[in-house]
Amino acid sequence: MLQIVPDFRGEDVSHDVIATLIRDRKPGHMLPAGLYNRRDVFEADLDMIFHRHWIAVAVEADVPEPGDVYAVDIGRSSILIVRDEDEGIRAFHNVCSHRAARLVPAGHSIVGKLVCPYHQWAYDLTGELFSAPHMGVDFDMGLHHLKPVAVRNIGGLVYVCLSQDPPQDIETLAALMSERLEPYELKDAKVAFETDIVEKGNWKLVIENNRECYHCAANHPELCLSLFAADFGFDAVDLSPTERAEADALDAAYVRARALWDGAGLDHSAVEHWQGQATNFRTERLLIAGTGESQTPDSRAASRVPLGRMGNSGCGNIHLWGINSWNHVMADHAVVINIFPLSPGETLVRTKWLVHKDAVEGVDYDLDHLTSVWIATNQQDADLVAMSQEGVRSAGYTPGPYSVHTERLVDDWTTWYCERMTHHGYGG
Ligand code: 3BY
Ligand code: FES
Ligand code: FE
């Protein structure tokens, strides 16, 4: 007989499955396969992580002037960032208050006001509706403001939070990084180049891959000319005499550099913020390998015009990790990478290269010299992530162990993810 009773338990079943997967995660190991592969986990990640935490979406240089708009998709939601007439940065849902049309396309636009392409409702740059043709004289435009989104500009890096109750611990990140990034004056930078690549892997695999440099020596020949793999949660064990001598030399170089940084008032402490916290970040001032100047093929500065007040190149590289981002801020340029989940097995990796706004391409910097290291690195990481994703999809997958010597930071990240999902009602 035809069964016509609908199954209203779909969501509950899915919730219980996800909670079991979170509970099943073995500390020090990768996640159970379903957490990388399942569509319902992907949806839960969007709801619980991307819609409730502070997510890095833009740089101040994306909206340098009043009327500049930058729209970005976070999962199912499109957000627009706008520079208002008073030079403030605001964020709104990119959804018309009439019949929900998207106001602006993804990416950059320049507007005098925000006019919906559907029926021409018009909003000013503060999100106030000021024109709604044919809605009648009694229509109260004051009730149809664009829906605001919480936004923070932290030293030129723009974060949004879609929650009505955004995590307060963004203040820790804001206090630390506003000060650390202030001399770089990223407000006066420009986006010299931008790339989008779609990695064939779950967003959590993209981040796991980013949280270690175990794979760097074998996979990133270009990046390793300017970056020390030993900087990322690396415990110096099992070293050959040559490697031991290199490790000692790096330690000594850090002692000298930190003394110089202290003298110059350049904060360099390593700060890790994730245990029991909503806002996940790590930052440290790192030495640059080679000539010490920049992440370029010859480790020399890419731009002749330094960022902000960073006249000298001995100030290393401020690395900053977040929930969906990693950044390297150097004296001459900054690399800002934000990731956005597209599907269980696809992640958008967006990279921006920032230089001082007065730097002229072809005169002060060469685009290939500026961008080639991270273009190569991103492609190499995309290949590694895709290999891992193929593995976690396969019947042969068992969550493997992280190295306690070189993958501690991966374990910290995966643990944070499970804690947050538990906090939001999964697991426990
Ligand atoms: O750039 C990063 O943040 C990380 C660190 C180690 C490997 N990876 C490229
Ligand atoms: Fe925007 Fe109608 S949907 S004006
Ligand atoms: Fe890598």
pLDDT 10s digits, 103-121: 999 999 999 999 999 999 9
Separation between Cα atoms, residue 284 and residue 319, nearest integer Å: 6
Relative orientation angle of helices 408-423 and 10-24, to the nearest 10 degrees? 150
Report CA(87)–ligand 3 centroid distance (Å): 37
Cα separations in angstroms, 31 against 20, 310, 385: 12, 42, 15
Tell me which residue of 21, 125, 22 sits closest to 83, measured CA to CA.
125
| Predicted confidence (pLDDT) per residue in 282-299, tens digit | 999 999 999 999 999 999
Q: How confident is the model at residue 7 (pLDDT cuts 50, 70, 90)?
A: low
274 C-beta closer than 6 A to ligand 1: no
Q: How confident is the model at residue 237 (pLDDT cuts 50, 70, 90)?
A: confident
Q: From atom 3 of ligand 2, which residue's Cα is the shortest distance away?
A: 99
* Residue indicated by tokens 């004051």: 142
Separation between Cα atoms, residue 7 and residue 260, nearest integer Å: 66
Q: What does the pLDDT read at residue 233?
A: 82
Environment class of 200 (CB within 10 Å of its CB; exposed 0-12, middle 13-18, buried 19+): middle
Q: Is the pTM of this model over 0.80?
A: yes
Lowest-confidence pick of 60-74, 235-249, 397-411: 235-249
Report CA(97)–ligand 2 centroid distance (Å): 7
Question: What residue ranges line ligand 2, CB within 6 angstroms?
Answer: 96, 98-99, 101, 116, 118-121
| Mean pLDDT computed over every residue of the chain | 95
Report CA(351)–ligand 1 centroid distance (Å): 13
